[in-house]
A and B are shown apart, each in its own frame.
Chain A
């Protein structure tokens, strides 16, 4: 293979592109701008940490199946870990959203970072909802029979049947976590690529 052949390979081109966009010192930085000087900045990483605990506690529940927690105190404790990590996840995520809004964090070409964040938020609500209807208890019976009216009214109920526990459980443990993790990954990588948004400053002329 000639040198030109190697340069033209998909692997080579993708690697070069990725390393150009995100060199190691940008992917895992050891400094940050001095304006990052507020506790409001910790809520992004707190949300991320909570997502890790949500997935870990959910994995614990998966070990023994969806009925386990009704008859086992260990299982019930695993369920409690899952519930409270979800509460912390939404708690931190909403505060992170408030903080980023008041910083106008979309400035300087960071609109996609904002947008992926909001879509992740909406996806998380979907994941929480499918979780609630997968509990296999009175709560899931009530929530599913009520939510069906909202979802059916849009036409989506013909394909997304909230009364079908099997379907809801698989959306909850496979499809929506995958979507949430991919979107979160994109969101975090965008922050690394673009950097944390600088403060508002005096208007300046930008040379074209």
Chain B
């Protein structure tokens, strides 16, 4: 008879020893009752967090100059969204995993044109605005170089933007309709109409908040709230919850990589960290097949504590 080599980390002899009574249904029922009661207790004592959502209305009323600067960044296409690349546009090649430009290969399948979607279309939706309508016509009939000049002039003067008597005021010259656009968009935002215009661009019944969320994320208001709540990336924010609630402790390893070199200063950090975590996940799935890793349980001998009663009885 051939003898197959016994691998202690892979093989185990079938159990030929004794069995004791076991009530599986009772065990399941007890577990359900205990977990149910514990859940109710924790919910009664601690509740759950619910920090209200931020709207573009709250943002633009709280920090109108920050909103106006963000609106300008959408118009002059220097905002995070405008420069993002796939899946929103082709402004950049996006992140690389070695030679792999994964996002670029898939393409801009959630197209966002910040000039059109964040500024021009919302302003066009405002009724009975003769001055704005004329300015929008001026914009649409102007050449690209003229528009670029207007935006460049406004951007140069934007460090002096102020908010006085409910109006965004600037010191810029030769800016065409840009000044009106920024001020009117800020007023629109402050009424709440911009929140709605951004959402309903995709129709009446929409549950897709891509546009207002991208616009919010381009500004500083949302990020400042997050900083206050310790949710920023360099604060290990991925693990955290608002307030004093426990968060997602199981994401400790995912966020760990972002805190150390070279990831903490790499333009490809997101895809690199994702690549590492995918690789580690595959390793975890394949532990039974990885020599060394599958030997650690036998070598660390923690099992001697788990099965101490069994070893004691068999020794006797």
Which A residues fall within an 8 A CB radius of B? 28-38, 40, 42, 45-46, 48-50, 52-53, 57, 69-70, 76-77, 79-85, 87-88, 90, 94, 99, 101-104, 106-108, 110-111, 114-115, 118-119, 122, 125, 128, 132, 135-142, 144-146, 149-150, 152-159, 161, 163-167, 169, 195, 197-201, 203-208
Contact = CB atoms under 8 A, between A and B. Distances in A.
13 contacts: A31-B20, A32-B22, A49-B34, A57-B39, A70-B52, A102-B303, A137-B53, A141-B54, A146-B231, A146-B238, A167-B207, A198-B14, A206-B11
Interface in B146-188: none
Interface residues of B, number: 106
Contacts of A118: 281, 284-285, 287
B213 A87 contact: no
Interface in B29-60: 31-32, 34-36, 38-40, 42-44, 46-54
B289 to A, nearest CB: 7
Nearest to A128: B248
Given A150-B274, A155-B103, A49 B287 contact: no
Contacts of A200: 8, 12, 298, 303, 307
Contacts of B87: 152, 157-158, 161
A35 B86 contact: no
A154 to B, nearest CB: 5
A108 B47 contact: no
B260 interface: no
Given A83-B48, A153-B270, 19 more contacts: A31-B19, A34-B19, A36-B22, A37-B307, A42-B27, A50-B39, A77-B47, A104-B303, A106-B10, A106-B288, A107-B10, A115-B286, A128-B248, A141-B213, A141-B222, A146-B231, A155-B106, A161-B87, A199-B311
